[in-house]
Each structure stands twice: as structure tokens, then as C-alpha cells.
Amino acid sequence: MTIEGKAKLLTIYIGEADHYEHKPLYKAIVEVLREKGIAGATVLRGIEGFGKASRIHTAAILRLSEDLPIVVRVIDSEERIEAVLPVIDEMVTDGLVTIEDVDVRFYGTQKEGS
């Protein structure tokens, strides 16, 4: 798969405690993205954050949280991102989903000629 030039960045902000069909939501999202042929996805676990309810979630030793922030980032063509959005909308019932324009300079294992 090749991605070059204009693309979309889909970012999904959820909580570690969020689930979908008895699985951690972030895992379920990654599985769906893979099944749908998306170029790739990265899951990041935050050390602290807050959302709409303004409740702090933190990994600080004195305030261990079981609901740390999770961010799933996906870059692919506009068409592929748009095709997967209805599924993401169904899965994410509490969180934030954003889409941004990005320019892809390189996607692969090794640049030609290096």
C-alpha cells in the first residue's frame, strides 16, 4: 500500500476503561481498522488528561487511575478514512473523534536509494 501527498489523520480520544463488545475499545478499534484495510494505526496511552467531565485521569503514583487517556491515531487516504467512520461512530459512544488534513512525505520500510 502506498500513501503519498494529501491524506487524513483520524484521531480518537477515549478512556482506557472504555469497552466494546467485552473488549477494550482501543483493541476493538485497531482490529476493525486492520480488517477494513487501513494503512496502520497507533495507540498511545496518556499519563494524564481530562475530558468533557473535567475529571483528571492520571498515572501519578499517589493517584493510580484505571482509566488513563488513550489516543488512537490513523493516517490514510480520505476515501479510506471516510469509509471507516460509520463503524467508528458506532463504537465510540463517549470520547472525541477528530479528522485533520496531513501531507504524507514517506510511508514504507526504506526510502529508495538509501
What is the DSSP track for 18-51?
A: -EETTEEHHHHHHHHHHHTT-S-EEEEE-SEE--
Q: Which domains does the chain have, with CATH numbers?
A: 5-103 (3.30.70.120)
**Residue 48 to residue 45: CA distance in whole angstroms:** 9
Between the alpha carbon of residue 89 and those of residues 63, 81, 98, the distances in Å are 31, 12, 11
pTM to 2 decimal places: 0.83
**Residue 84 to residue 92: CA distance in whole angstroms:** 12
pLDDT (tens digit, 9 = 90+) per residue, 49-106?
Answer: 777 776 666 655 545 556 789 999 999 999 999 999 999 999 999 999 999 999 998 7
